[in-house]
Amino acid sequence: MVKQRVPDWLNSSLWSPPPDDRHSRYSSSAVNSRHSPSDYVAVDECAMHPPVPQPPPAAIRPTEPPPKSEPKESRQDANGTSTSSSSNSNISEEEISRQAQLLVELSKKVVNMRDVRRLVSMGIPDGAAIRSTAWKLLLRYLPSDRGMWPSELAKKRSQYKHFKDDLLMNPSEITRRLYKSNIESIESCESRGLLSRSEVTHEEHPLSLGKSSIWNQFFQDTEIIEQIDRDVQRTHPDMPFFSGDMQFAKSNREALKNILVVFAKLNPGIRYVQGMNEILAPLFYVFRNDPDEENAAYAEADTFFCFVELLSGFRDNFCQQLDNSVVGIRSTITKLSQLLREHDEELWRHLEVTCKVNPQFYAFRWITLLLTQEFKFADSLHIWDALLSDPEGPQETLLRICCAMLILIRRRLLAGDFTSNLKLLQNYPATNISHLLYVANKLRMCPAGPP
């Protein structure tokens, strides 16, 4: 039997979304490159972009006790704009209390991760300037023991530097160094009266086709590096942090490119898939805006390891060979369909049976890009607070949020046909993020009701 209604708390008029704001949306062009646009139903979409979110202002570092009031000192943010931590006058008493509790937890000698997850799951206040530290803990980049932070950070940052030195070096530089090494070896032999024999360097020749040839590998990598560069140039084009001719924006784009190239070379099974730049951007933005200048300076290295950890939970979605397996992207989309059917069979039946709206038409982008394209950038950071803080892992939380997105606009979907519903789902309307996360959490706690 089809369910006639869903719980009242899902449809409260108190949470009706504001009018659709097309200026708060990115275009849907950044979709995984292995799926061509012809695989999906073409729908006209606005190419508008969201306003630039205000970077997190400075606040007391986690090592200090929580403030009694909002600090008033200002600093130059990542966009070169002077900001003040007291600028967010709309912060609620609940958020102030949660910020103070987070600062206390992050200042402990041994951080209680259960308490941190609980507090972060409710959202980190924008003015707290502690998201960077919280995310590094949640992504297991930092251990819970604060005493180990300096040594762990130094080790990881040094490791990333070696990755760059080994993987980003032009083959001509490698050849030059090998030649210099050979010359030094010859001179050493001659100084001892020994005859030297020239090394055979066929694999170091630019025309070598050998599989181990550094030049052959370089030319094979060129295509993917060019794809990464194109995508990085298109990352959040309306945000001065990433876009424009300012040196700071150029250095940020270069950092994104370095991370993606290093990742591609270290992960030949996946390499680079279009859209990874969109997942990388929030991490780098948060870490580069860390109020601690040393942490901000090493944002590239920190972002790399956190990106690897985050992607480890979603890597099967990016592996084309697994698309049709039980762990591939199509299986994940099927789980979303099943979740909707469990909690709102009427809506599921209308979308998939009556209107024939295949969830792949809209959910592919939602899932692979972790909702970075569906909301304003600042709102996506709050959604990621919930994703990263779930001890079960981000994927199950992501599916619940996607299901909640459908339920929150069920009235419009039930009144629509194939064309209008697909356009609505591919251009998700502005909504109250706090209530969206509340509904998603309810879906975890409340089992599906009887039919």
Are residue 269 and residue 333 in the same domain, yes or no?
no
Q: Both 165 and 309 in a single domain?
A: yes
For residues 330 and 359, what is the distance between their CA atoms, to the nearest angstrom? 10
Against a cut of 0.85, is the pTM above it? no
Do 220 and 16 form a contact (C-beta atoms < 8 A)? no
> How much is the pLDDT for 115?
95
Which of 281, 313, 345 delimits the end of a domain?
313
Overall number of domains in the chain:
3
Q: Is residue 299 part of a domain?
A: yes
What are the beta bridge partners of residue 74? 84
Q: Which tokens belong to 124?
A: 């980190």
Q: Is residue 197 part of a domain?
A: no
> Which structure tokens are listed for 168?
């980003």
pLDDT at 93: 85
d(CA 336, CA 348): 10
Is 202 contained in some domain? no
One domain for residues 418 and 363: yes
Measured between alpha carbons, how far apart are the two ends of the chain, in Å? 6
User: CATH number, domain at 293?
Assistant: 1.10.8.270
The SS3 of residue 145 is: strand
pLDDT at 91: 72
> What does the alpha-carbon distance between residue 142 and residue 155 come to, in Å, rounded to a whole number?
12
- Domain check: are 330 and 411 in the same one? yes
- Is the domain of 137 the same as that of 157? no
Contact 290, 132 (CB under 8 A): yes
Do 355 and 432 lie in one domain? The reply is: yes
Residue 198 lies in a domain: no
Q: Are 58 and 74 in contact (CB under 8 A)?
A: yes
Residues 173, 267 within the same domain:
yes
Is 219 domain-assigned?
yes
Same domain, 275 and 368: no
Whether residue 60 is contained in a domain is answered as no
Tell me which of 264, 284, 313 is where a domain ends.
Answer: 313
> Are residue 119 and residue 236 in the same domain, yes or no?
no
User: Could you give the percent of the chain with pLDDT greater than 90?
Assistant: 55
pLDDT means per 10 residues, the chain with 451 residues, are 51 44 37 38 37 43 39 41 46 85 94 95 82 96 97 97 88 50 52 50 50 61 91 95 95 97 91 93 97 96 97 72 63 94 96 96 95 95 95 91 97 97 96 95 74 41
199 belongs to a structural domain: no
* Residue 39 sits in the same domain as residue 120: no
Of how many residues is the chain composed? 451
One-letter identity of residue 230:
R
Distance from the Cα of residue 262 to its chain's centroid? 17
H-only helix segments in 72-213: 93-107, 113-121, 131-138, 149-167, 171-191
Torsion region of 69: left, alpha or beta (phi above 0 gives left; psi -120 to 50 gives alpha):
beta
**Six-digit token string for 81:** 């704009």
Q: What is the pLDDT of residue 221?
A: 80
Domain membership flag for residue 204 = no
> Which pLDDT does position 212 carry in this prediction?
55
User: What are 386's two structure tokens?
Assistant: 């919930």
Among residues 313, 344, 379, the one where a domain terminates is 313
- Domain CATH for 415: 1.10.472.80
284-302 burial: b if 16+ Cβ within 10 Å, else e: bbbbbbbbeeebeebbbbb
Distance CA 271, CA 225 (A): 10
Cβ count near 429 (within 10 Å): 19
Same domain, 17 and 47: yes
Domain interval for residue 123: 74-144
Q: Report which of 446, 363, 384 is spatially closest to residue 35, judged by C-alpha positions.
A: 363
The verdict on 248 and 277 lying in the same domain is yes
